[in-house]
């Protein structure tokens, strides 16, 4: 299982309020929420993002609220994987539960730049930066996590 796409790059402490501002949480329609994803720090994100793109942050990505709308909006926007140095714990759990692959990797988070063409192999945890000709070792996904992601979320994987 692999993901490949163009990188959207952010810094430390990307919080759930900037991923999806609470003023839009009067709906649980994730396609609608995707239109506003990241808009408070990157007004053009929804316009620029392509299906399969990769999001890269640094430390403590997804801190703040428990809103599952945050990883769900990222996923609905077309992002195929989020790479960061560390993730806030509720975000980490929510992302896996809804089937959004996320990987912790210090080196990748430091070296990848916005616009790079990056590929992730979930079985091996290898992150390849085709633009820079580099590769970085992230954590690999155990089988049950790959199963959750292939099933498009925890609840589907239990069926």
- Site map (CB under 8 A) of other proteins, residues 46-75, x = contact: -------------xx--xxxxxxx--x---
CB 4 within 8 A of CB 120: yes
Q: Give the per-residue contact string, 18-37, with other proteins (x = CB under 8 A; - = no).
A: x--xxx-xxxx---------
- Out of 56, 98, 127, 149, the residue judged to bind other proteins by CB under 8 A: 98
Tell the smallest beta-carbon distance from residue 22 to other proteins (Å). 4
DSSP for 74-114, please give it.
HHHTT--EEEES-B-HHHHHHHHHHT--EEE-HHHHHH--T
Three-class SS of residue 127?
Answer: strand
Report in angstroms how near the CB of residue 28 gets to other proteins at its nearest. Answer: 5
155 binding other proteins? (CB under 8 A): yes
Tell me which of 2, 89, 130, 132 binds other proteins, using CB under 8 A. Answer: 89
* Choice between 42 and 116, CB closer to other proteins: 42
Pairing mode of beta strands 126-129, 134-137: antiparallel
Q: How far is the CB of 95 from other proteins (least distance, A)?
A: 9
- Residues engaged in binding other proteins (CB under 8 A): 13, 15, 17-18, 21-23, 25-28, 39-41, 59-60, 63-69, 72, 86, 88-90, 93-94, 97-98, 153-155, 158-159
């Amino acid at each position: 299982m692999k993901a490949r796409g163009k990188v959207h790059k952010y810094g430390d402490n990307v919080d759930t309020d900037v991923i999806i501002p609470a003023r839009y949480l009067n709906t649980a329609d994730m396609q609608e929420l995707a239109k506003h994803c990241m808009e408070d720090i990157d007004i053009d994100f929804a316009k620029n993002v392509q299906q399969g793109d990769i999001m890269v942050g640094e430390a403590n990505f997804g801190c703040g609220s428990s809103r599952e709308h945050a990883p769900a909006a990222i996923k609905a926007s077309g992002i195929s994987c989020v790479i960061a140095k560390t993730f806030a714990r509720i975000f980490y759990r929510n992302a896996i539960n809804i089937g959004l692959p996320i990987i912790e990797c210090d080196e990748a988070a430091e070296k990848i730049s916005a616009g790079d063409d990056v590929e992730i192999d979930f079985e091996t945890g290898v992150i390849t930066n085709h633009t820079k000709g580099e590769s970085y070792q992230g954590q690999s996904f155990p089988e049950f996590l790959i199963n959750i992601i292939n099933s498009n979320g925890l609840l589907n994987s239990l069926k």
